Amino acid sequence: MKFFIDTANLNDIKEAYDLGVLDGVTTNPSLMAKEGITGEANILKHYKDICDIVDDNVSAEVISTTYDEMVEEGRKLAKIDDKIVVKVPMIKDGVKAIKQFTAEGIRTNCTLIFNAGQAILAAKAGASYVSPFIGRLDDICQDGLDLIAQIVQIYSNFGIETEVLAASVRHNMHLIKCAEIGADVVTCPLNVITGLLKHPLTDSGLEKFLADYAKGNK
Ligand code: E4P
């Protein structure tokens, strides 16, 4: 399973990359705004800065909503770096744009997926990734993990190559359950990745090992 970090914060991206476990980055317009990145030139530069940190897979989201504009914007994003994956919303023109990007060899991440039908459509258009949002479904009392399992099953039925990128991952159990289900990728904030390190028995065990070593090596 690949680990992507879901942020536009360069320090968090560096920290996750330095841990040696990071396979990519997802951003969205809200995450860019949170970092104060505004204006086209700054936005394009910020994506380049992210690409310079990681090895591959930097999702950069279009803000256009019509086919022609999405294609133009996506091409511009793809030109920033070979690591860019153009993130496109699950709307009618988005599906058409994904089909066009696929024909041009531009990788895509179809975002805002909330049911299996949308995931089927995105895959038919040739999306490289689909992003079902677990946490936002949980927020409205629908089980986001059930959707991940359903899409993984459907893609497996037909040998579909589109990768299931579990998004809106809010905590460690989301991530672990996604691994059990067989999601290809999870994207989550830094604290969820570093949260995987933690267990109180690890801490107390290490403390005891070091104390015992110190006693015998005075
Ligand atoms: C997906 O790529 C989105 O950026 C993200 O996972 C949304 O997460 P949120 O629901 O916590 O905002």
CB 144 within 8 A of CB 132: yes
Q: What percent of the chain has pLDDT over 70?
A: 100
Q: Looking at residue 218, what is its pLDDT?
A: 84
Q: Whose CA is nearest to atom 10 of ligand 1?
A: 168
CA of 106 from ligand 1 middle (Å) equals 22
Q: Note the pTM of the prediction, 2 decimals.
A: 0.96
Which residues neighbour 198 within 8 Å (Cβ) at sequence distance 6 or greater? none
Best of 6, 136, 169 for a ligand 1 pocket test (most atoms within 8 Å of beta carbon): 6
Q: Which residue has the tokens 């599906």?
A: 95
Each residue's pLDDT tens digit, 49-105: 999 999 999 999 999 999 999 999 999 999 999 999 999 999 999 999 999 999 999
Quick check: CB of 7 below 6 Å from ligand 1? no
Its sign, for the CA torsion 105, 159, 138, 187, is negative
Each residue's pLDDT tens digit, 126-150: 999 999 999 999 999 999 999 999 9
Quick check: CB of 28 below 6 Å from ligand 1? yes
Q: Dump the DSSP string for 40-107.
A: HHHHHHHHHHHHHHSSS-EEEE----SHHHHHHHHHHHHHH-TTEEEEEESSHHHHHHHHHHHHTT--
- Looking at the structure of the chain, the number of domains it has is 1
CA of 101 from ligand 1 middle (Å) equals 23
Mean pLDDT of 148-165: 98
CB 61 within 8 A of CB 33: no
Domain carrying residue 39? 2-216
Quick check: CB of 187 below 6 Å from ligand 1? yes
Take residue 67 and report the two structure tokens written for it.
């086919």
Domain CATH code at residue 48: 3.20.20.70
CA of 167 from ligand 1 middle (Å) equals 6
Quick check: CB of 78 below 6 Å from ligand 1? no
Q: Whose CA is nearest to atom 7 of ligand 1?
A: 168
Q: Looking at residue 86, what is its pLDDT?
A: 98
Give me the catalytic one of 87, 177, 198, 215. Answer: 87
CB 88 within 8 A of CB 94: yes
Quick check: CB of 167 below 6 Å from ligand 1? yes
Q: Which helix (H) or strand (E) holds 123?
A: helix 116-125
Take residue 185 and report the two structure tokens written for it.
């990728």
| 87 flagged as catalytic | yes
Helices 67-80 and 40-53 pack at an angle, to 10 degrees, of: 50
Q: Whose CA is nearest to atom 6 of ligand 1?
A: 168
Around Cβ 1, how many Cβ atoms within 10 Å?
Answer: 14
Mean pLDDT of 147-157: 98
